Amino acid sequence: MEYKRNEAQEKKEILNRYKNLLTASRRRMEKGDKALIRKAFEMAVEAHKDMRRKSGEPYIYHPIAVAQICAEEVGLGTTSIVCALLHDTVEDTDITIDDIKGMFGERIAKIIDGLTKISGVFDQTSSLQAENFRKMLLTLSDDIRVILIKLADRLHNMRTLESMAHDKQIKIASETLYLYAPLAHRLGLNAIKSELEDLGLKYTHGDAYDDIAEKLKESEPERKKFIAKFIEPLKDILKEQDFKFKIFGRPKSIFSIYNKIKFKGVSFEEIYDLFAIRIVINSKIEEEKADCWKIYSIITDFYHPSPERLRDWISTPKANGYESLHTTVMGPEGKWVEVQIRTDRMDEIAEKGYAAHWKYKDTASEKESQLEEWIGRIREMLESPEENALDFIDDFKLNLFAEEIFVFTPKGEMRTIPSGATALDFAFDIHTKIGEHCIGAKVNHKLVPLSYELKSGDQVEILTSKKQHPNEDWLKFVITAKAKSKIKNALKEQRKKTAAEGREILERKFYRHKLEFTIQNIKEFAGFLKLPSTQEVFYRAAKDVVGSDEIKEYVNFKKHPEKYVNKKLEQQHTIEELVNTKRGKSDWLVIGDDMEKLDYKLSPCCNPIPGDDVFGFITVGEGIKIHRVNCPNAVKLLSNYAYRVVKAKWNSQQLLTFLASIKIKGTDALGIVNNITKIISTQHNVNMRSITFDTEDGIFEGMIMVYVHSTEHLNQLSTNLKKVPGVISVQRVDSEKQKVN
């Protein structure tokens, strides 16, 4: 009876959620849409009827929630809602694409096919995962709704992540921060991007997230009081001038506050722009620009603006469609306040991105062409199938979050390129051939080298020569994915041509040594030289690195193989073999799902110590490396190589010591260094490996490397050091910022 009652309750809850979905969809519904959504809903309920989520809830809750996000938060229409309801049916149930085509037509079937193909983006092997990501981007240019629904799907998964195992939470959250949040940013989905980042932080750096959330909560009453005081005089004058407006304070996202603390080295209390004041006005399209500048004029009559902090994204919107006027003014109590001025249309586009543009079809044509331009760039990047898929993802990701600058061609045409782009990036942006033959540029009529970094407002003329060709050095100073991809392709082509010349050279040398120039002999020769391919042999022959001496040695080897000790290349083990065979002597660190005792190395990029939240990363050459979960390289490793990550935890504590670095800041006072070292060596019996102090204008900064037993031990030491008079902050830092292999 108990089960039946629950079943009845669940049915009631499913219908309730369906009704909420219909309410959210109503604004965009046309004749026949309700029946179509109902048909999709019934099909999804039937298909998923015996399935449950990890939380124990009926699986159907998930597709309904994804459809709700599409309707309410992204502003998509009936087609997308139907696709969201059915997005997991082809992958997880007996329903086929043909069934969907028969019931809902070609267009819906095509979108669901796209969603099914990309469902395994983060799969078991890194190359497959990267190739799937490539496929996902290809679908982006067929129908952007595929990506928008996928982002809604990821957002709901992140909102319900607490029911997953801890290691799965970290992997999924890392993928989200690495690729999904940047994608949402590029597509202009600001609200979704911020929530994905905050939720990603919650599961990758839980302590930092909780700490900031708690401080935001504590400071809320004070913030509200300040915002009310700031807004009061503005409200009256805006009403007086007949503006229809909303004015409110928006706290910054936890993730953006965390980034400021981490990268600018400031404390929570030192961040002045914890919130922004937003003024949203109701304005006719043709009067938008003038009205926003009027509001700016009113604000600056009351509060002094900072001239360096004016951002006009109304005259030149961002490439993701974002339009707004930002200024920072000196508010009451001597606090700087960021003010954002925009219209209702701009606000909706800022929150919902390109989906909202469709609502303003006539006015959005320019923005849509920017989206088309971006998608066109992706298609170009995808044209080279030989490119290393992981390099491709890294290059692509760089271009997702990059801020844009605006530069002009000699004829005055404005082009958008990422901030930090060079003259060579700009050349490739115009055309591949212009990039390949670029020898320099004139910026504002002055001659500059290829590596010159462009600034907003520059007028750029590219100089070319047919004799010029790409070289390896170019890759060091281009930042756009298009330029990198085209240079790599050109270098590959050059290498192929050189290898073709090398083949002829090698053929002549083989015959000179009375060797047949057969495929078998060339492959054997490559194996003898331990080179990866015959093409590499030909290339080296052209460059005169492989020649007569090597051929003579190979001839001797063929005659007397017994004289040569055949050093076989170390066999590549599977990950499973590595995990199962790397049995260690350690009895205080255990790794893997079965928590076996294994050999390991502590990674130098983050120096984990007992008590840190850690994971194991499998390398073929050096076994398992242990990283802290908040290691600088963690997000990349967890999202790109999830299949090589194993669980790890500290099993029991022995009094072994580990190296950790702490940075101390404070005001320079007599005897302060003595007081600090006394606490370290006397109170905590800690050995120091190195200590450096530097003072400037009465402020000192010290870096101390100490041997500690655990995180707890280090935290106790930090707490006591903070008590020393004159010490302002004590924080742990990663001692070696080196790349992980």
Specify the pLDDT at position 4.
46
Specify the pLDDT at position 423.
92
Beta bridge partners of residue 665, listed in sequence order: 701, 729
Number of Cβ atoms within 10 Å of the Cβ of 213: 15
| Single-letter code of the amino acid located at 557 | F
**What is the mean pLDDT of the segment spanning 120-147?**
56
Determine the Cα angle at 204 with ends 200 and 205, to 5°: 110
C-alpha 398/C-alpha 182 separation (Å) is: 9
Task: Tell me: pLDDT of 132 over 70.
Answer: no
Specify the pLDDT at position 196.
94
Most confident of 19-28, 244-253, 727-736: 244-253
Q: Is there a contact between 605 and 736 (Cβ–Cβ < 8 Å)?
A: yes
Joined tokens for residue 176: 């989200």
Summarised one tens digit per residue, pLDDT across range 702-721 is: 888 887 777 777 888 888 88
Specify the pLDDT at position 598.
58
Joined tokens for residue 379: 């298609």
CATH numbers and ranges of domains, the chain: 2-212 (1.10.3210.10), 217-367 (3.30.460.10), 489-563 (no CATH), 575-650 (no CATH), 658-733 (3.30.70.260)
- The structure tokens 């004139």 sit at 442
Q: How confident is the model at residue 427 (pLDDT cuts 50, 70, 90)?
A: very high
Q: How confident is the model at residue 400 (pLDDT cuts 50, 70, 90)?
A: low
Summarised one tens digit per residue, pLDDT across range 294-345 is: 999 999 988 998 888 888 888 888 777 788 999 988 888 778 888 999 998 8
**What is the mean pLDDT of the segment spanning 255-271?**
80
Q: How confident is the model at residue 292 (pLDDT cuts 50, 70, 90)?
A: very high
Higher pLDDT, 559 or 211: 211
Task: Tell me: pLDDT of 522 over 50.
Answer: yes
Q: Which of 29-38, 115-124, 157-166, 569-578 has the least mean pLDDT? A: 569-578
C-alpha 526/C-alpha 513 separation (Å) is: 17
Q: Is there a contact between 664 and 736 (Cβ–Cβ < 8 Å)?
A: no
Task: Tell me: pLDDT of 121 over 80.
Answer: no
C-alpha 645/C-alpha 637 separation (Å) is: 8
As annotated, the active-site residues are: 91-92
Q: How confident is the model at residue 1 (pLDDT cuts 50, 70, 90)?
A: very low
Specify the pLDDT at position 737.
41
**What is the mean pLDDT of the segment spanning 393-412?**
70
Task: Tell me: pLDDT of 197 over 90.
Answer: yes
Q: How confident is the model at residue 584 (pLDDT cuts 50, 70, 90)?
A: very low
Joined tokens for residue 130: 């990267």
Higher pLDDT, 170 or 115: 170
Number of Cβ atoms within 10 Å of the Cβ of 355: 22
Joined tokens for residue 309: 């902090």
For the entire predicted model, the pTM comes to 0.64
**What is the mean pLDDT of the segment spanning 557-570?**
59
> Closest Cα partner for 423 from 457, 461, 450, 458?
450
| Single-letter code of the amino acid located at 11 | K
C-alpha 333/C-alpha 327 separation (Å) is: 18
What's 318-336 look like in SS3? Answer: CCCCCCCEEEEEECHHHCE
Q: Is there a contact between 429 and 480 (Cβ–Cβ < 8 Å)?
A: yes
C-alpha 300/C-alpha 135 separation (Å) is: 49
Phi-psi category of residue 732: left, alpha or beta, with phi > 0 → left and psi -120 to 50 → alpha: beta
Tell whether the torsion through CA atoms of 157, 159, 160 and 165 is positive or negative: positive
Specify the pLDDT at position 587.
35
Average pLDDT, the chain: 78
C-alpha 212/C-alpha 253 separation (Å) is: 10
What's 450-511 look like in SS3? Answer: CCCECCCCCEEEEEECCCCCCCCCHHHHCCCHHHHHHHHHHHHHHHHHHHHHHHHHHHHHHH
Higher pLDDT, 265 or 315: 315
Most confident of 95-104, 513-522, 559-568, 645-654: 95-104
What torsion, rounded to 10 degrees, do the Cα atoms 61, 62, 65, 69 define?
180
Task: Tell me: pLDDT of 414 over 70.
Answer: yes
Task: Tell me: pLDDT of 380 over 50.
Answer: yes
Residues in CB range of 12: below 8 A, 6 or more apart: none
Number of Cβ atoms within 10 Å of the Cβ of 484: 24
Task: Tell me: pLDDT of 394 over 70.
Answer: no
Q: Is there a contact between 463 and 426 (Cβ–Cβ < 8 Å)?
A: no
Q: Which of 3-17, 249-263, 441-455 has the least mean pLDDT? A: 3-17
For 89, phi and psi rounded to 5 degrees? Answer: -65, -45
Specify the pLDDT at position 137.
62
R_g of the chain, CA atoms, integer Å: 30
Strands (E), 567-720: 589-591, 596-597, 601-602, 614-619, 623-628, 645-650, 658-667, 687-696, 699-708
Specify the pLDDT at position 389.
52
Proportion of the chain above pLDDT 90, given as a percent? 8
Residues in CB range of 495: below 8 A, 6 or more apart: 535, 539
Task: Tell me: pLDDT of 2 over 50.
Answer: no
Q: Is there a contact between 321 and 302 (Cβ–Cβ < 8 Å)?
A: no
Task: Tell me: pLDDT of 3 over 50.
Answer: no
Task: Tell me: pLDDT of 572 over 60.
Answer: no
Summarised one tens digit per residue, pLDDT across range 457-478 is: 889 999 888 888 888 888 888 8
Specify the pLDDT at position 415.
82
Alpha helices in 93-241 (DSSP H): 97-104, 106-117, 126-142, 145-159, 166-175, 181-186, 190-204, 206-218, 220-240
Specify the pLDDT at position 654.
47
Higher pLDDT, 582 or 507: 507
**What is the mean pLDDT of the segment spanning 351-355?**
69
